[in-house]
Amino acid sequence: MRGFKSGRFKKFEKKLKMKSTNLEEDNKKEFTSDIEQNEKILKETFQDCSDLEYRRIEVNHNIKWLIVYIDNLIDEKMLDEHVIKPMLTSLTRDVPKEAEDLKSEMISIGSTYSSTIVSDTVRHVLEGYAAILMAGSNNVMTVSIPGLSKRSIDEPSSEPVIRGPRDGFIEHISTNISLIRARLKTSKLKVEYMTLGELSQTRIAILYLKGIADDTLIDEVRTRLKPIQLDGVLESGNIEEFIEDQPYSPFPQLHSTERPDVTAAELLEGKVAILVDTTPFVIIAPMTFWAGLQASEDYYIRWPVATFVRWVRFLFINFAIFAPPLYVAITTFHQEMIPTSLVLSIAASRESVPFPAMIEALLIEIIFEALREAGIRLPKQIGQAISIVGGLVIGQAAVQAGLISAPVVIIVSITGISMFTIPRYSFANGIRLLRFPILFLAGTMGLYGIVLGFLGIMLHVTSLRSFGVLYFSPVAPLKFAKLKDVFIRIPIWVKFRHSIDPKSREGPN
């Protein structure tokens, strides 16, 4: 949305202003004191909505209360027990005439809101509230009686760990916030709500720790979220593209996670979490390059092991990008770099291959990506078997048929394994894309092309920002004080100054 100043965008902006003016007029419409007229207003608003229920409570054929709700969004058993039954009992005595009296005398469940604005009541009904209209009053009370079934809290499938918490976010924003609050029991954890999506009316929550998160960052998150105009926000990815700094970059500038422990740890580091209702993926801002290579399990195992695993990731991310291009460049332009026996072996394996090395590598890379995508989309029971068996069968058959050489199959297999060492899925997707332009440069210019590609990646990464934070920091610009948790996972007792140094602890006498 930023940066478009063309005539077409100005026309869109004018239509948007007219649309906003009409919405403001609708939002000011109020109920009347006539309950039958109010019922007519709601029926016009929810025209052709067959799942909207109207429950009337009458005295001497006159409507005293009208309860409006959407079927399947509320718990009807609780509605009967805690709302309708007290109303029927009260018919033998004085009937409350105001919403506040109704709340204090009869309603004993859920959170309640009262409003005279039609749009407020409509929004609450669509969120799973029951609206209670009273005769002779224009004040409508809505009662929260949630009845929508929720998925149980399970281990996140996209971020499995050997050691660590097993709970993950679900598609219910209130439950997700409670999972974070269970880990951060402090009043400094602030939650701000807003609504995005003209038709979906999706609840968005901004979470941060007051005094730890920078106020400028919090204001920037609010500023980028508020102008978003969409018909519907169905997943956090719908808003991610609106608020990132460089939408054309292959690298993700926002971290998405399903894990409450990861979110809590990021909040403790002064970052901001954005929760979207109806999705288990939470957005965290800002993000750096090094965060894409760190896993939550790094902080649950001993620091020497975590450091070793982290260096393995650093090594294999280079394999994931440069292994196929290096093979293509060396076998095509720089054969003198290979030992003689290995050159002869590669030449013998490529003797019957009709394609140049670049086309050969590109072909097997595309086949590998297709197998990977098929394994993801197929049911879990057969997806893994298809990807493994398909890779073995197709690779072996292609080698025997002379379409590709065995060394290329080995190189691409190592590349595929390297991709799986990257713990962040969105970050790994960016690395997947980089491999293809580097492969093209290697096939046309050899090692010089790989060097140009590497310099291009470094220039892009060092200039990239995430909510004002340099993507390659603290390596570029170099800050020695902040390098302690980049290349080495330092011990926890060193990271937190208030902790006691284990070396200073006295042993038993």
pLDDT for 99-155, tens place per residue?
555 655 666 676 788 888 888 899 889 888 899 888 888 888 888 887 777 788 888
pLDDT for 171-203, tens place per residue?
999 899 999 999 999 999 999 999 998 888 899
Q: Indicate the helix (H) or strand (E) that contains 383.
A: helix 380-401
Given a cut of 80, is residue 496 above it in pLDDT? no
What length does the chain have? 509
Residue pair 453/437 in contact by the 8 Å Cβ criterion: yes
Top-confidence range, 46-50, 153-157, 451-455: 451-455
- Interstrand relation of 465-466 and 282-285 (parallel, antiparallel or unpaired): unpaired
Q: How confident is the model at residue 258 (pLDDT cuts 50, 70, 90)?
A: very high
* 132-163 as b/e: b if 16+ CB within 10 A: bbbbebbbbbbbebbbeeeeebeebeebebee
Render 395-453 in DSSP notation, one character per residue: HHHHHHHTSS-HHHHHHHHHHHHHHHT-S-HHHHHHHHHHHHHHHHHHHHHTHHHHHHH
Confidence (pLDDT) at 101: 56
Between 406-420 and 340-349, two packed helices, what is the crossing angle to 10 degrees? 100
Quote the CA–CA distance of 68 and 138 in Å, as a whole number: 15
Amino acid at 399: V
Given a cut of 60, is residue 60 above it in pLDDT? yes
Confidence (pLDDT) at 6: 41
Number of Cβ within 10 Å of residue 379's Cβ equals 7
Confidence (pLDDT) at 388: 64
Closest to 141 (Cα-Cα) out of 106, 94, 173: 106
pLDDT for 384-428, tens place per residue?
666 666 776 777 788 888 888 888 888 988 898 898 899 988 899
Name the token pair of 470. 């340099």
Confidence (pLDDT) at 18: 54
pLDDT for 346-395, tens place per residue?
888 888 888 888 998 998 888 888 888 877 777 776 666 666 667 767 77
pLDDT for 309-331, tens place per residue?
999 999 999 999 999 999 999 99
Instruction: Name the least confident of 403-412, 436-445, 480-489.
Output: 480-489
Within 8 A by CB and 6+ apart from 61, the residues are none
pLDDT for 286-314, tens place per residue?
999 999 999 888 889 999 999 999 999 99
Given a cut of 80, is residue 13 above it in pLDDT? no
Confidence (pLDDT) at 502: 42
Evaluate the omega torsion of the peptide bond into residue 247 and state whether it is cis, within 30 degrees of 0. no
H helix runs in 46-145, sequence order? 76-79, 85-90, 99-105, 118-126
Q: How confident is the model at residue 499 (pLDDT cuts 50, 70, 90)?
A: very low
Span between the terminal Cα atoms of the chain, in Å: 68
Quote the CA–CA distance of 262 and 148 in Å, as a whole number: 27
Confidence (pLDDT) at 5: 41
Given a cut of 80, is residue 207 above it in pLDDT? yes
Q: Which residues pair with 70 in a beta bridge?
A: 52
- Interstrand relation of 62-70 and 129-134 (parallel, antiparallel or unpaired): antiparallel
